[in-house]
């Protein structure tokens, strides 16, 4: 058993933090061992001393190589303190790449200038004070220059002139950047925003505002701004530019993610090589372009090797590669490291250990030479967890002992303690004041405080996974982001996922644009990198100006997300901040039990709802429960079960009749999209609804195959359902243009006789026929000749349709000798005859076009053979290799289907049939017209009244025609990993009143679903009833099923 004192000590030791963050670099160093990586530290200081020698040049840079956890970031933290103690400037470069290298350098300078570190004031204030001294400015004017008093244009003019006298070259060449830096330091937010916007080279700044402060209307480019800031810094001291995110940049650039199909290896290698070349060339330029600045790169050895191989210029002439961090050098250093890390925590716990490294015996550290500093601290943490899990202090005498993975148990908290926590938490929420987080003047401090607390609590609620996450608050002053969450994905490559949060309550367009540029510069969003995410929190309207709209659109295009944040969520974060400050010993168990942060609306949007049933809300509702038994859907004879709500387990049913209003599925590879399509078809077939399915990828033709073994994820009643489906459903695979299977021949003309007496429907049929025949007759171009040809074709078709009609052969014959009464256009007979010959050639070249095969009757596709309740017709497109062929076929199919449902409406049945179009963006895209666009839109707008349901599926949310999405009452959003597609999905979802922010974190089979009259819900869908292995069928396997199945 563990004594009370020992337990307090072990609980405190669980607070060990072994992974310093970028924010930690700017905080005071509490622990440092000269015996650990001392050689590397000395090399860094020598390099900085070299930077102080020559004001007009920079020394060789320094590369510090080391594996994960060897102390690279800690060394930079130590170096920052040393640099500032020697009156120098320190800058830390964040996530960047070579494509916008100098923009990243400017952002690095501006972020660093806002930081203070060991100085009493920001580095910007220190710089301006020193420059004022150089210019011999009076004290009263100095206060204006460094932002401690309101700034006047006269003072700025005086400062620029006096500095130019003191430093003629720098004062002349850097005069505009100097003015902008003074504006940046102003206590007036609008003035500071103007200075920042100019330094960031933002476009469309007001010329009058700039002229007021002596700035030109057109800002300089980023490289010039960076060089001039460096030159001004060099007038008063040396600088160190540290680069500490290269490994993460390389790791994040790899297209594949966990659980996701790897990208094309050639593309992956090319992307990495290009990144290495761009980033390497930028780093090599620093010595040539910056002044009195030493660049220190801390990275994995493999990252620097990549840069050396890809950089176009010599690395040896610009960087020294003389230092490599390694594992712990001795048992004594390991013991010293453990002792100094444990001692402050023992003091907090008021515990006197029997030996300094308790509960790790000194002799165990003999094996520490195999460990990096971080690995040893992680090992110590693992043993502390082991002791707590076994409720016994087990002295560790060998680092290889007790290596069992300790899963955190289901949190156990005394009911009385839980009730006390609930009451206290409820009181804290009630008393919380959160308006400051939504006010421009206080959002930087208050929003940072609240988001940091919310994210810290969220990481604790993740239980065993908590150690993978690090939370950073926004930096002091004017932060780029208000909070930053990092998830370590791979220790060896230092691959991470990032979430950056930023509140933005400002209304002035300049303030909005400057802060957006600051956020984008910090996050470095890239549509090709799904592991970097930026979430902008805004509750007020966006500025209306064209520049502000463009800024927003650009942010969304690269994967940024804009959403609101409720006061209710902020009160939860405020209460959590108080609880974290109080730090009750049972707080972790409370948070894991109740999960208050995970259940906020904001974090559910971003990270998804937590698993398991929802915890009771600490604040009791008034006026009765918000839900009742009447809200819980129950099974009905004419409803399809589609799984359960992920967080509650509540079953989800979709009435068959609702599918008359169509459904659309937005999801990518690995999302479970195909399984969802299959289950929709299978459940519909069990209720007697037949379906026609387009199968462009050969992954739906197995709808008649039984599973070799029942899937482990099947529900209790699924085996019986599968048997019922297979015995009662007539599954037929059709193969247009493949006579070795079951060929189809679709005539390009609709049945005009069926719609002859309905003007609107006749007009739609006419439009569809022209859309089909015009490309075949070579009359689809945007020319005068094609316009006349389509007019003749339309009039000929109208004459043909209102007369006896017939098939394609009869229509071509009519065109060959067009009656005069059929058209009012001159030379129409000549044009018609020419089109007739072209159509004959098309019939020869494309056998499907009015050619051989089973003449298609949609009634055949939808009518089961005797003894079966429904038919599933899967149309494999293996015989139609080109998009044009597929689109022409689908157009003909849809025209025939449209005419058939007119004659055979569903009547009183809830649903007469289903038509499923996978990869819908290829048939009815948003940006161009295809041969089947018109017929698709006609079905989408008209089919519902005849009882035909349409199901569209796509990986490109904005890739399909907006009228299709607008006509779909049921929508599913599954896993997508492309930031561009995620942004598009959120835009589409917002039209339905929601945003699906964590769409890139959904697992296979999870979807956000919205149906008519129901809100967005995260749904876990079931496995399909028919065999669905990971690989699609080959063409030969499709043909085999076409020959053996059906009537």
* Joined tokens for residue 786: 């094609």
- Would you say residue 408 has pLDDT above 80? no
CATH number, domain with residue 1025:
3.40.50.300
Report if residue 282 sits inside a domain: yes
What's the chain's length in residues?
Answer: 1047
Report if residue 1 sits inside a domain: no
- One domain for residues 182 and 248: no
- One domain for residues 541 and 401: no
- One domain for residues 420 and 301: no
- One domain for residues 825 and 886: no
Angstrom distance (rounded) from CA 906 to CA 887 = 27
Report if residue 732 sits inside a domain: yes
Confidence of residue 72 (pLDDT cuts 50, 70, 90): confident
- Mean pLDDT is highest, among 96-110, 114-128, 803-817, 854-868, for 114-128
**3-class DSSP assignment, residue 50:** helix
- One domain for residues 351 and 490: no
Angstrom distance (rounded) from CA 230 to CA 112 = 12
* Joined tokens for residue 239: 């600088």
* pLDDT score of 995: 56
**How are beta strands 948-954 and 913-917 bridged, if at all?**
parallel
Interval 411-429: pLDDT, tens:
678 888 889 999 999 999 9
- Mean pLDDT is highest, among 14-28, 100-114, 733-747, for 100-114
Interval 557-582: pLDDT, tens:
788 888 999 999 999 999 999 999 99
**Over residues 738-743, mean pLDDT:** 88
- One domain for residues 516 and 589: yes
* pLDDT score of 428: 95
- One domain for residues 534 and 586: yes
- One domain for residues 904 and 998: yes
- Would you say residue 204 has pLDDT above 60? yes
Of 406, 440, 465, the last residue of a domain is 406
CATH number, domain with residue 310:
3.40.50
- Report which of 302, 310, 305, 316 is spatially closest to residue 276, judged by C-alpha positions: 310
pLDDT higher at 556 or 1015: 556
* pLDDT score of 496: 83
Residue matched to tokens 């002349």: 172
* pLDDT score of 15: 80
- One domain for residues 691 and 550: no
- Would you say residue 262 has pLDDT above 60? no
**How are beta strands 970-973 and 89-93 bridged, if at all?**
unpaired
- Would you say residue 619 has pLDDT above 80? no
- DSSP-H helix ranges across 167-264: 168-173, 175-184, 189-199, 207-212, 222-234, 246-253
Report if residue 41 sits inside a domain: yes
Interval 628-662: pLDDT, tens:
333 334 445 688 998 888 777 788 888 999 999 99
**Over residues 1002-1023, mean pLDDT:** 85
Of 388, 406, 424, the last residue of a domain is 406
Report if residue 485 sits inside a domain: yes
Confidence of residue 952 (pLDDT cuts 50, 70, 90): very high
Residue 653 main-chain phi, psi, to 5 deg: -120, 140
pLDDT higher at 265 or 553: 553
Q: Which residues contact 151 (CB under 8 A, 6 or more apart)?
A: 144, 145, 182, 183, 186, 188, 191
Angstrom distance (rounded) from CA 442 to CA 448 = 10
- Would you say residue 618 has pLDDT above 70? no
- Report which of 629, 885, 871 is spatially closest to residue 737, judged by C-alpha positions: 885
Mean pLDDT of the chain: 86
Residue matched to tokens 């020698």: 53
Give the structural domain span for 245: 35-99+239-256+264-326
Report if residue 637 sits inside a domain: no
Report if residue 23 sits inside a domain: no
- One domain for residues 493 and 457: yes
Report if residue 373 sits inside a domain: yes
The count of structural domains within the chain is 6
Could you give the dihedral angle defined by the CA atoms of residues 144, 150, 153 and 155, in that order, rounded to the nearest 10 degrees? Answer: -30
* pLDDT score of 747: 67
**Over residues 732-740, mean pLDDT:** 90
For the entire predicted model, the pTM comes to 0.60
Beta bridge partners of 295: 241
- Would you say residue 1044 has pLDDT above 80? no
- One domain for residues 1012 and 880: yes
Residue matched to tokens 């493949």: 738
- One domain for residues 361 and 372: yes
């Amino acid at each position: 058993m563990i004594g009370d004192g020992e337990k307090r000590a072990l609980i405190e030791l669980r607070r060990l933090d072994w992974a310093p963050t970028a924010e930690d670099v700017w905080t005071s160093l509490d622990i440092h061992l000269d015996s650990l990586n001392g050689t590397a530290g000395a090399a860094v200081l020598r390099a900085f001393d070299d930077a102080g020698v020559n004001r007009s040049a920079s020394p060789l840079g320094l590369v510090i190589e080391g594996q994960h956890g060897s102390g690279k970031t800690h060394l930079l933290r130590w170096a920052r303190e040393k640099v500032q103690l020697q009156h120098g400037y320190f800058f830390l470069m964040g996530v960047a790449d070579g494509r916008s290298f100098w923009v990243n350098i400017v952002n690095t300078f501006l972020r660093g200038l806002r930081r203070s570190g060991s100085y009493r004031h920001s580095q910007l204030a220190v710089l301006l004070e020193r420059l004022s001294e150089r210019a011999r400015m009076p004290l009263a004017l100095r206060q204006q220059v460094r932002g401690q008093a309101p700034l006047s244009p006269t003072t700025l003019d005086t400062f620029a002139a006096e500095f130019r006298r003191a430093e003629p070259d720098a004062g002349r060449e850097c005069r505009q950047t100097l003015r902008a830096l003074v504006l940046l330091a102003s206590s007036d937010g609008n003035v500071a925003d103007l200075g920042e916007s100019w330094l960031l080279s933002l476009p469309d700044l007001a010329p009058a505002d700039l002229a007021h402060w002596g700035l030109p209307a057109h800002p300089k480019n980023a490289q010039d701004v960076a060089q001039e800031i460096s030159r001004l810094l060099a007038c008063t001291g040396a600088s160190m530019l540290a680069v500490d995110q290269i490994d993460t940049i390389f790791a994040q650039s790899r297209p594949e993610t966990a659980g996701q199909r790897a990208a094309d290896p050639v593309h992956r290698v090319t992307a990495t090589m290009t990144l290495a070349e761009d980033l390497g060339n930028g780093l090599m330029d620093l010595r040539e372009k910056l002044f009195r600045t030493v660049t220190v790169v801390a990275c994995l050895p493999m990252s620097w090797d990549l840069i050396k191989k890809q950089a176009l210029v010599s690395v040896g002439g610009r960087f020294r590669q003389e230092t490599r961090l390694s594992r712990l050098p001795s048992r004594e250093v390991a013991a010293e490291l453990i002792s100094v890390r444990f001692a402050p925590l023992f003091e907090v716990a008021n515990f006197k250990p029997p030996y300094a490294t308790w509960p790790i015996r000194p002799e165990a550290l003999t094996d520490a030479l195999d460990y990096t500093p971080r690995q040893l601290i992680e090992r110590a943490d693992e043993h502390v967890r082991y002791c707590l899990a076994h409720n016994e202090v087990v002295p560790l005498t060998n680092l290889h002992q007790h290596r069992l993975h300790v899963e955190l148990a289901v949190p156990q908290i005394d009911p009385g303690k839980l009730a006390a926590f609930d009451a206290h938490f409820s009181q804290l929420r009630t008393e919380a004041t959160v308006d400051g987080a939504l006010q421009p003047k206080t959002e930087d401090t208050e929003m940072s405080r609240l988001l940091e607390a919310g994210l810290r609590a969220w990481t604790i609620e993740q239980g065993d996974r908590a150690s993978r996450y690090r939370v950073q608050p926004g930096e002091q002053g004017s932060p780029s982001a208000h909070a930053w969450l990092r998830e370590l994905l791979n220790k060896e490559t230092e691959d991470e996922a990032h979430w950056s949060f930023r509140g933005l309550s400002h209304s002035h367009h300049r303030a909005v644009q400057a802060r957006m540029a600051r956020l984008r510069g910090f996050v470095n969003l890239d549509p090709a990198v799904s592991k970097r995410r930026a979430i902008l929190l805004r509750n007020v309207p966006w500025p209306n100006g064209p520049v502000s709209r463009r800024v927003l659109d650009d942010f969304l295009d690269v994967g940024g997300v804009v959403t609101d944040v409720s006061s209710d969520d902020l009160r939860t974060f405020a209460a959590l901040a108080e609880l974290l400050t109080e730090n009750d010993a049972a707080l972790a168990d409370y948070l894991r039990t109740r999960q208050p942060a995970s259940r906020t609306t904001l974090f559910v949007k971003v990270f998804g709802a937590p698993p398991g049933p929802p915890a009771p809300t600490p604040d009791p509702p008034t006026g009765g429960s918000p839900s009742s038994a009447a809200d819980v859907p129950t099974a009905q004879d004419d409803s399809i079960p589609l799984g359960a709500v992920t967080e509650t387990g509540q079953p989800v049913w979709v009435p068959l009749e609702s599918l008359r209003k169509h459904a659309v599925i937005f999801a990518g590879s690995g999302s479970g999209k195909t399984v969802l399509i299959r289950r929709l078809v299978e459940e519909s077939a069990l209720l007697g609804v037949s379906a026609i399915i387009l199968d462009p990828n050969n992954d739906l033709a197995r709808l008649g195959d039984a599973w070799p073994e029942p899937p482990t994820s099947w529900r209790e009643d699924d085996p019986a359902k599968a048997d019922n489906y297979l015995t009662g459903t007539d599954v037929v695979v059709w193969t247009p243009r493949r006579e070795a299977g079951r060929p189809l021949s679709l005539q390009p003309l609709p049945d005009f006789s069926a719609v002859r007496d309905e003007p609107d429907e006749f007009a739609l049929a006419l439009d569809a026929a022209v859309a089909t025949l015009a490309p075949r007759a070579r009359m689809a171009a945007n020319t005068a000749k094609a316009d006349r040809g389509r007019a003749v074709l339309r009039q000929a078709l109208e004459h043909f349709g209102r007369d006896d009609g017939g098939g394609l052969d009869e229509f071509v014959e009519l065109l060959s000798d067009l009656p005069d009464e059929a058209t009012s256009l001159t030379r129409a007979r000549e044009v018609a005859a020419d089109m007739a010959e072209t159509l004959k050639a098309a019939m020869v070249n494309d056998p499907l076009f009015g050619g051989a095969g089973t003449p298609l009757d949609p009634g055949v596709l939808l009518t089961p053979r005797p003894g079966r309740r429904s038919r599933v017709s899967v149309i494999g497109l293996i015989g139609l290799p080109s998009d044009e062929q597929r689109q022409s076929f689908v157009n003909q199919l849809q025209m025939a289907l449209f005419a058939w449902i007119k004659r055979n409406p569903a009547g009183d049945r809830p649903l007469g049939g289903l038509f499923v179009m996978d990869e819908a963006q290829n048939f009815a895209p948003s940006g161009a017209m295809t041969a089947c666009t018109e017929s698709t839109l006609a079905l989408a707008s008209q089919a519902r009244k005849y009882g035909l349901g349409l199901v569209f599926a796509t990986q490109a949310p904005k890739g399909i025609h907006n009228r299709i999405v607008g006509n779909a009452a049921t929508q599913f959003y599954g896993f997508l990993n492309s930031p561009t597609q995620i942004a598009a999905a959120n835009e589409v979802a917002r039209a339905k009143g929601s945003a699906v922010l964590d769409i890139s974190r959904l697992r296979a089979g999870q979807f956000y679903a919205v149906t008519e009259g129901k809100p967005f819900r995260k749904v876990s869908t079931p496995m399909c009833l028919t065999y669905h292995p990971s690989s699609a069928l080959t063409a030969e396997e499709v043909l085999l099923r076409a020959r053996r199945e059906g009537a």
